[in-house]
Amino acid sequence: MKKHNYSAGPCILPQIVFEKASQAVLNFNDTGLSILEISHRSKEFVTVMDDARALALELLGLEGKGYQALFLQGGASLEFLRVPYNLMKTDGKAAYLDTGTWSNGAIKEAKSFGETVVVASSKESNYTFIPKEYSIPADADYFHCTSNNTIFGTQIKSFPETSIPVVCDMSSDIFSRVLDFSKFDIIYAGAQKNMGPAGTTLIVVKEEILGKNGRNIPNILNYQQHISKESMYNTPAVFAIYTSFLTLQWLKEKGGIAAIEIENEAKAALLYAEIDRNPLFKGVVATEDRSIMNATFILHNEAHQEAFDALWKAAGISGINGHRSVGGYRASMYNALPIQSVQVLVDAMKTLENNTP
């Protein structure tokens, strides 16, 4: 049976990417070597790295605008540490917006470097909304936010205007919607949502903001060091980067971010319409802050859980259980999830309604 993969990450990827990556595991570009064993210094992989970095900037509309793209390791969690190391002055401070588990993790790391101002938080409501109308201190070294909150199902729809550098963790919605990416000075994202398998992280950084905080930064944590070595300071995650490159190629061939945004909006509209229409379900977060990537919802009556679970499992749906922090259900609708899979979930919800007295 075909599986409809709603996993929050590692997540669904395009079928064509699986096919090309599988062939590369056996024989990469007719070299007679597997992508799993090829040297990261070989001209074949250096070409992949260079093309992947260039394509990421192209898709984000940042070519020729002073940005560098890096594929590094450690996941977004390492960027929680690397960002203040590179941007916070020795006697400075940083501003953070707290919208969920991952932004909270970034805040904890920043506190080890200096004054960390939380400009707003929705923690007391279990992160069911995105705070708005907050002030960002103009003397902060940077402002950090998380664009999409995988666990709770919220997404920032409008980013604040500020004169200080803006850093954004886009791990769970990068390449999913059109934004003016030039408004951000650093963007980072773990690959395992919309790009590829776990194991690499895309960092896009505006080079002019680096080297100004007066810190002695360890090389492995220094963005300038990684830029100078073209993402090859240490052995890169070859397979994860190659698969991410294949996914970015797939996205470009579809028409880029503008094209995929139309599909993502249609998928989200289909599911949220059913959540709002069906009397057995309700959404978890504020309507205006709903994520188009991660829809969180619950049953009004938990007595229906066993029946609903049986329905979606029989339909071949996978990975839809909600995070323990929220409960209920979470449908992650990343770029590669077809709208047909969303319809299967909607049909299961309707079947439950029709079979419930």
**Which residue numbers are catalytic?**
102, 169, 193
Residue 230 carries which side chain, given as an amino acid letter? Answer: E
Strands laid side by side in the 329-332 sheet:
281-283, 294-299, 329-332
Give the integer Cα–Cα distance in Å for 95 and 304: 43
Instruction: Let me know: does 102 contact 76? Beta carbons within 8 Å.
Output: yes
**70 beta partners:** 203
Instruction: Let me know: does 8 contact 153? Beta carbons within 8 Å.
Output: no
Give the integer Cα–Cα distance in Å for 73 and 237: 7
Instruction: Let me know: does 78 contact 122? Beta carbons within 8 Å.
Output: no
Token output for 140: 């902060």
Instruction: Let me know: does 16 contact 250? Beta carbons within 8 Å.
Output: yes
Token output for 326: 């929220």
Give the integer Cα–Cα distance in Å for 213 and 68: 19
- Closest residue by Cα to residue 147 from 124, 130, 126: 130
